[in-house]
């Protein structure tokens, strides 16, 4: 999709821009028709049925989508089952929040690692789910039969929602499955996905963060990499094998399939495929949407989160308890802080904007002979994005700087229902709500420090106030300016001194004798309601232009599909199970620079910096390195391989995905992408795109030699 493509004809240009052998997050049920021949040419030894089969065991049955009970179909990470007892791998950063939740100053599993040497030592994780795909079905024809050409976009969406619910309800009638219908290609095609969702997921093992997050923010999105990014969990079921919440009598899952683990290693050019749950890509985005992504979403997210990260770094460095409380929050914030900046750099370096505009130019030429709706698409997109720009900018400031930056104001908003309950004078309603809020508070305050929150409110509110357009200020800002003369340090200090939400103790004391007048005057409640109302107001102001963008994107994508009719087309990621295939391989990111396809433990030792929290090397690892005690996990040169790269097409949600060789064996865990091709979610770059993977042999070495968890080694089928 590079510059030479500009010389091609309109149709060929679009074909090349959307279809390449190694690009694509492919739907499993379509592999037989679309991809299997090409995959086998690249070295795959399996059939399409061995990858996806509804009636028999196949690779899909070993791949887990990790989710939350409240949102089980949106998978934040991927895992892979590696034993007949439901043991699975995922990334360390995927399990980070769970590891953190079990950590304390007395048992600092983040710093020291955690290993269960027997099943009774494994730790439950309330609210975490593990989904396994049962089946998928193309239901486009049935959904489209309810749509009529004269429908408004709103009526169209209502019709789709109605028929989708009917289809999913029918699919799981009298079963314990879960199902939903989702669109692909911007509402042009529809698929039914049926899952079995397990509710008892237990922590089994994790190396210390000094290994699992080795390199920290500095190495994030970078190659070469030396991070032991893995953790281990187990799925449990009711005694009859059905999904069930945590219970002592639950038993390990007996999976339909689990992956053999290869200790044979990898070579440059080896076939590699990845199965997982990629979150979101925007390959069909217009140049106007790309401009908003770069100038609004990425730019502001990076700038505002930079303020938050600087506060958290200082706070976490000052106290172990604060470090533990905010570890997961910091990791979540910093990941897309760096991503946003690196993606903008890559988009500019790879001239992605010019590529998008060239595609649109060719599209416009094609649309000249088509319906008027197709002809107007680009002008509609240009106008709609321009109209919503000021609101989109303001909403980003409100979201990142005030709503999700600090925590207290939004927590207060979530408790605002207590005002209506108190005003109703219905004691049963008041008692029920206060009981629920006590439970919510226990979870919220577990990882909350008032002094840290005060600093976050002061810094983020001040930054937002000084940088956003004053016409979009939430109402409470005027009061801060009037009463505190714009001094957000003083304002934050007063809030944390006087608010009933300032600590778990003050909040619980308030709930014992709740008072509506106190609640209405509370600074956190006033700020939270003001911020949330402004966020909703801005979202409403954007709604009409957003509807126009959605409809125009659908028509634009429909046109591309029509132009490429008969060609294999990969839809954008949407957190459904996908497969991507390619090869292991080195690359040249720029002039005179060559990156080998794997790294070794030598690099870990070379990067060690005792003065940096990002490059600490545990003494035990140094001792094993010095003794060259790597067990049976070295390569043919006697090296302890740590990570490797492949040209697989992945994105967020793929974290923890199995990297599988030609024989269907696990060779690694996908965990990152490379900075040179951070444009990949929008424009796949075939020469530079690399997926960074943990070599599973390094994980096996750590489990056996570092942790001594032979119980886990014996449980896996390790192919040597």
CA distance 204 to 116: 5
Indicate the pLDDT class of residue 215, thresholds 50, 70 and 90.
very high
Q: What is the pLDDT of residues 166-175, one digit of tens each?
A: 999 999 999 9
Q: What is the pLDDT of residues 238-281, one digit of tens each?
A: 999 999 999 999 999 999 999 999 999 999 999 999 999 999 99
Please tell me whether residues 360 and 235 are part of one structural domain: no
Q: Residue 6: pLDDT above 70?
A: no
Smallest CA-to-CA distance from 114 within 715, 718, 712 is with 712
Please tell me whether residues 265 and 306 are part of one structural domain: no
Residue 31 lies in a domain: yes
pLDDT at position 22 is: 66
Q: What is the pLDDT of residues 631-680, one digit of tens each?
A: 999 999 999 999 999 999 999 999 999 999 999 999 999 999 999 988 89
The answer to whether the CB of 339 falls within 8 A of the CB of 677 is: no
Smallest CA-to-CA distance from 122 within 232, 206, 202, 230 is with 202
Please tell me whether residues 271 and 293 are part of one structural domain: no
Domain encompassing residue 466:
287-555
Q: Residue 23: pLDDT above 90?
A: no
The answer to whether the CB of 642 falls within 8 A of the CB of 696 is: no
The answer to whether the CB of 683 falls within 8 A of the CB of 658 is: no
- Measured CA to CA in angstroms, residue 550 lies from 108, 297, 538, 612, 697 at distances of 47, 18, 18, 46, 46
Indicate the pLDDT class of residue 430, thresholds 50, 70 and 90.
very high
Please tell me whether residues 537 and 608 are part of one structural domain: no
Please tell me whether residues 537 and 621 are part of one structural domain: no
Q: What is the pLDDT of residues 347-383, one digit of tens each?
A: 999 999 999 999 899 899 889 988 888 999 999 999 9
Residue 641 lies in a domain: yes
Q: What is the pLDDT of residues 82-101, one digit of tens each?
A: 999 999 999 999 999 999 99
Indicate the pLDDT class of residue 16, thresholds 50, 70 and 90.
very low
| Domain boundary residue, one of 536, 555, 574 | 555
Chain centroid to CA 7: how far? 37
| Domain boundary residue, one of 502, 537, 555 | 555
Residue 9 lies in a domain: no
CA distance 27 to 717: 28
Strands 718-719 and 261-262: parallel
Q: Which entry of 53, 219, 229, 270 is annotated as an active-site residue?
A: 229
Q: Residue 302: pLDDT above 80?
A: yes
pLDDT, mean of residues 517-540 = 97
Please tell me whether residues 551 and 613 are part of one structural domain: no
Q: How many domains does the chain have?
A: 2
Please tell me whether residues 265 and 305 are part of one structural domain: no
Lowest mean pLDDT among 35-44, 354-363, 381-390, 560-569: 560-569
Smallest CA-to-CA distance from 133 within 75, 183, 215 is with 75
Please tell me whether residues 378 and 246 are part of one structural domain: no
The answer to whether the CB of 534 falls within 8 A of the CB of 403 is: no
Smallest CA-to-CA distance from 578 within 182, 223, 235 is with 182
Q: What one-character-per-residue DSSP string does 520-554 give?
A: HH-HHHHHHHHHHHHHHHHHHHHHHHHHHHHHHHH
Q: Which entry of 93, 178, 226, 257 is annotated as an active-site residue?
A: 93
CA distance 684 to 650: 10
**Residue pointed to by tokens 């595609």:** 359
Nearest-5° Cα angle at 294, 290 to 297:
105
Smallest CA-to-CA distance from 690 within 560, 608, 554, 598 is with 598
Question: Cis link prior to 224 (omega < 30° from 0)?
Answer: yes
The answer to whether the CB of 129 falls within 8 A of the CB of 201 is: yes
Q: Which run of H or of E encompasses 165?
A: helix 153-171
Strands 63-68 and 77-81: antiparallel
Helix 320-349, helix 450-467: angle, nearest 10: 30
Smallest CA-to-CA distance from 29 within 201, 267, 193 is with 193
Nearest-5° Cα angle at 481, 478 to 482:
85
Residue 16 lies in a domain: no
CA distance 277 to 183: 15
Indicate the pLDDT class of residue 563, thresholds 50, 70 and 90.
confident
Does 102 qualify as catalytic in the annotation? Answer: no
Residue 152 lies in a domain: no
> pTM score > 0.85 for this model?
yes
| 183 strand-pairing partners | 190
pLDDT at position 372 is: 87
Beta strands in 535-664 (DSSP E): 578-583, 587-590, 593-595, 598-600, 641-646, 658-660
| Domain boundary residue, one of 517, 540, 555 | 555
The answer to whether the CB of 602 falls within 8 A of the CB of 687 is: no
| Bigger pLDDT: 632 vs 9 | 632
Please tell me whether residues 309 and 227 are part of one structural domain: no
Q: Residue 129: pLDDT above 50?
A: yes
Q: Residue 318: pLDDT above 70?
A: yes
Please tell me whether residues 360 and 394 are part of one structural domain: yes
Q: What is the pLDDT of residues 438-467, one digit of tens each?
A: 999 999 999 999 999 999 999 999 999 999
Please tell me whether residues 239 and 314 are part of one structural domain: no
Nearest-5° Cα angle at 399, 488 to 547:
150
pLDDT at position 5 is: 32
Phi-psi region of 618 (alpha: psi -120 to 50; beta: other; left: phi over 0): beta
- Measured CA to CA in angstroms, residue 295 lies from 288, 292, 382, 655 at distances of 11, 5, 15, 27
Residues with Cβ within 8 Å of residue 66, at least 6 apart in sequence: 75, 76, 77, 78, 79, 90, 94, 128, 129, 130, 131, 201, 656
- Three-class DSSP category at 574: coil
CA distance 56 to 151: 42
CA distance 108 to 570: 44
Residues with Cβ within 8 Å of residue 605, at least 6 apart in sequence: 617, 622, 625
Q: Where are the alpha helices (DSSP H) in 181-278?
A: 209-212, 216-219
Q: Where are the alpha helices (DSSP H) in 564-707?
A: 601-607, 619-627, 696-701
Q: Residue 18: pLDDT above 60?
A: no
The answer to whether the CB of 719 falls within 8 A of the CB of 264 is: yes
Residue 400 lies in a domain: yes
Please tell me whether residues 341 and 481 are part of one structural domain: yes
Percent above pLDDT 70 for the chain: 97
Sign of torsion, CA 517 519 524 528?
negative
Smallest CA-to-CA distance from 462 within 477, 482, 483, 479 is with 477
Q: Tally the C-alpha atoms within 13 A of residue 418's C-alpha that lie toward its C-beta.
A: 28
The answer to whether the CB of 346 falls within 8 A of the CB of 678 is: yes
Residue 598 lies in a domain: yes
Does 257 qualify as catalytic in the annotation? Answer: no
Residues with Cβ within 8 Å of residue 691, at least 6 apart in sequence: 274, 582, 645, 646, 647, 648, 649, 650, 654, 659, 670, 672, 673
Q: Which entry of 17, 135, 334, 655 is annotated as an active-site residue?
A: 655
Residue 368 lies in a domain: yes
| 114 strand-pairing partners | 206
Does 56 qualify as catalytic in the annotation? Answer: no
């Amino acid at each position: 999709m590079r510059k030479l493509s500009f010389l091609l004809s309109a149709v060929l240009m679009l074909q090349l821009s959307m279809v390449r052998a190694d690009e694509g997050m492919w739907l499993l049920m379509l592999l037989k028709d679309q991809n299997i021949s090409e995959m086998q040419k690249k070295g795959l030894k399996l059939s399409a049925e061995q990858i996806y089969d509804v009636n028999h065991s196949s690779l899909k049955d070993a791949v887990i989508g990790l989710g939350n009970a409240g949102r089980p179909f949106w998978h934040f990470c991927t895992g892979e089952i590696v034993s007949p007892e439901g043991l699975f791998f995922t990334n360390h950063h995927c399990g980070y929040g769970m590891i953190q939740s079990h950590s304390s100053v007395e048992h600092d599993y983040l710093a020291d690692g955690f290993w269960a040497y027997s099943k009774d030592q494994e730790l439950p994780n309330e609210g975490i789910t593990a989904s396994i795909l049962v089946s998928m079905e193309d239901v486009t024809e049935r959904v489209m039969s309810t749509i009529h050409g004269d429908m408004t976009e709103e009526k169209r969406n209502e019709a789709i929602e109605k028929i989708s619910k009917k289809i999913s309800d029918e699919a799981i009638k009298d079963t314990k499955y879960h199902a939903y219908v989702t669109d692909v290609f911007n509402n042009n095609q529809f698929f039914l996905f049926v899952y079995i969702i397990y509710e008892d997921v237990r922590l089994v093992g994790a190396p210390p963060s000094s290994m699992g997050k080795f390199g920290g923010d500095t190495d994030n999105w970078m190659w070469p990499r030396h991070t032991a990014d893995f953790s281990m969990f187990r799925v449990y079921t009711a005694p009859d094998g059905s999904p069930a919440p945590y219970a002592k009598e639950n038993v390990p899952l007996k999976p339909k399939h689990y992956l053999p683990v290869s200790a044979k290693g990898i070579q440059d050019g080896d076939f590699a495929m990845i199965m997982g749950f990629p979150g979101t890509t925007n390959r069909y985005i217009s140049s106007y949407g790309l401009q908003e992504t770069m100038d609004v979403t990425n730019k502001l997210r990076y700038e505002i989160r930079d303020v938050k990260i600087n506060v958290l770094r200082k706070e976490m460095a000052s106290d172990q308890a604060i470090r533990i409380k905010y570890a997961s929050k910091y990791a979540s914030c910093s990941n897309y802080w760096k991503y946003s900046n690196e993606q903008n750099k890559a988009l500019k370096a790879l001239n992605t904007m010019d590529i998008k505009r060239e595609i649109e130019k060719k599209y416009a030429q094609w649309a000249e002979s088509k319906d008027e709706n197709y002809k107007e698409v680009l002008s509609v997109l240009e106008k709609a994005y321009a109209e919503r720009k000021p609101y989109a900018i303001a909403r980003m400031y409100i979201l990142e700087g005030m709503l999700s930056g600090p925590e207290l104001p939004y927590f207060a908003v979530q408790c605002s229902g207590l005002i209506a309950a108190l005003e109703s004078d219905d004691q049963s309603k008041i008692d029920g709500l206060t009981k629920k809020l006590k439970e919510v508070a226990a979870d919220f305050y577990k990882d909350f420090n008032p002094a840290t929150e005060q600093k976050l409110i002061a810094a983020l509110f001040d930054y937002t106030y000084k940088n956003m357009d004053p016409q979009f200020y939430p109402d409470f800002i005027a009061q801060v300016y009037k009463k505190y003369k714009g001094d957000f340090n003083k304002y934050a200090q007063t809030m944390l001194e006087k608010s009933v939400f300032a600590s778990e103790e003050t909040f619980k004391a308030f709930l014992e004798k709740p008072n509506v007048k106190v609640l209405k005057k509370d600074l956190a409640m006033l700020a939270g309601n003001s911020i949330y109302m402004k966020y909703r107001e801005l979202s409403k102001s954007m709604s009409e232009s957003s509807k126009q963008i959605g409809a125009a994107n659908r028509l634009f994508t429909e046109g591309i599909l029509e132009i490429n009719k008969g060609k294999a087309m990969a839809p954008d990621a949407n957190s459904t199970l996908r497969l991507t295939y390619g090869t292991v391989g080195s690359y040249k990111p720029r002039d005179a620079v060559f990156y080998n396809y794997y790294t070794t433990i030598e690099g870990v030792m070379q990067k060690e910096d005792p003065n940096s929290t990002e490059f600490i090397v545990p003494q035990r690892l140094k001792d094993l390195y010095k003794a060259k005690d790597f067990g049976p996990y070295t390569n043919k040169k006697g090296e302890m391989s740590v990570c490797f790269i492949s040209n697989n097409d992945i994105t967020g949600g793929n974290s923890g995905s199995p990297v599988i060789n030609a024989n269907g064996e696990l060779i690694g865990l996908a965990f990152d992408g490379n900075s040179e091709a951070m444009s990949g979610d929008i424009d796949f770059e075939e020469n530079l795109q690399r997926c960074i993977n943990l070599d599973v042999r390094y994980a096996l070495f750590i489990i056996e030699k570092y942790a001594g968890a032979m119980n886990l080694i014996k449980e896996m089928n390790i192919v040597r």
